[in-house]
Amino acid sequence: MRLGAAGALVDGAYRPGDVEVDRETGRVTAVGVPGPGHGLALPGLIDLQVNGFGGVDFLAADAEGYRRAGRALAATGVLAYQPTLITSEPGQAVTAIAAAAAVAPGAARILGVHLEGPFLSPHRPGTHPVRLLRAPDAELARRLRAAGPVTQITLAPELPGALELVGQLVAAGVTVSCGHSDATAEEAHAAFDRGARLVTHLYDAMRPFAHRDPGIVGAALTRQDVTLGLIADPSHLSPEAIRLAFRAAPGRIVLVTDALAAAGCPDGRYPLGEVEFTVADGVARRADGTLVGSTATLLDGVRHAAEVGIPLERAAAAATSAPAGFHQGRGIGLLRPGDWADVLVLDDGLSPRTVLDRGVPVEP
């Protein structure tokens, strides 16, 4: 079966020609196939930071909620993701991790849970409940990890005990990301030297860059061993901030949504754990005006990055091959002969035309 595309993103680079898929095996059989076509074929998108989607908040989701959210995510082209849990009571977090672990594989596959907290700075909490934040605690981290597959933990590296916990988590195979942090550049470098490899939503909820106090932003942008998560939507970042990150850190950008239960839903009131927020004109804020995550899709982020001047193949790689690098061996973010046919085909206007889950069309 041919997909009718004019080109494809293969290993992060544009390859002219169509893609051929074997429906029986669910795998790609050829790329660069000559013939008529239009639009672009991408590997299935990968979102490492999704708090909820399609009316489902992952802190409170059951199996049916995950199925609904997974179907809604897959329809937008996201075929693999990390459910992300903001700071909550430990018991609630344990229950939520276990719920994610019990979900049967669906169209959008769960890669593991991303814990965004509770080891975050009270000076940069964003929308996290300050009363529930705490200093890094190895025993609590073990309890949370024992509840299910925790693949990423975001913490503030300047907190007491953070560096020791970074080392323990890295040794256990957990990706450590620095975020919601008031860290200086020196404190950030110390965490990166211990093995932290990601920054959670660069620029947002962290010490801002200044020429004599570059903070975590300056440290991360100047290190070749650190990848930067970026929420590329107009309510979070200016075009200049997006362009700066892509130009300063080529190949080290991972686009994320920080999506909420409100994503894919009308404006209105929604929950994020114990936090209530209102969406107006697609922008989510608490009653005090604090920005709360995003209602954009990951494809929206790719398109917006392209609109502000990022070459499309680089923007698309930041939502496919770059995040796949944190989940080696999972068969995601790839579009080569022999790979699973997890494919998003865009039309010439970069809207979804076809989504395949291992060769099977995903219903919108």
Just list the catalytic residues. Answer: 258
Give the C-alpha separation, 125 to 128, whole Å: 5
**Does the CA dihedral 116-120-126-127 come out positive or negative?**
positive
357 burial type by CB count under 10 A (0-12 exposed, 13-18 middle, 19+ buried): buried
Give the C-alpha separation, 100 to 185, whole Å: 35
Q: How far is CA 192 from the centre of its chain?
A: 20
Residues pairing with 268 in the sheet = 279
Q: Which residues contact 287 (CB under 8 A, 6 or more apart)?
A: 276, 278
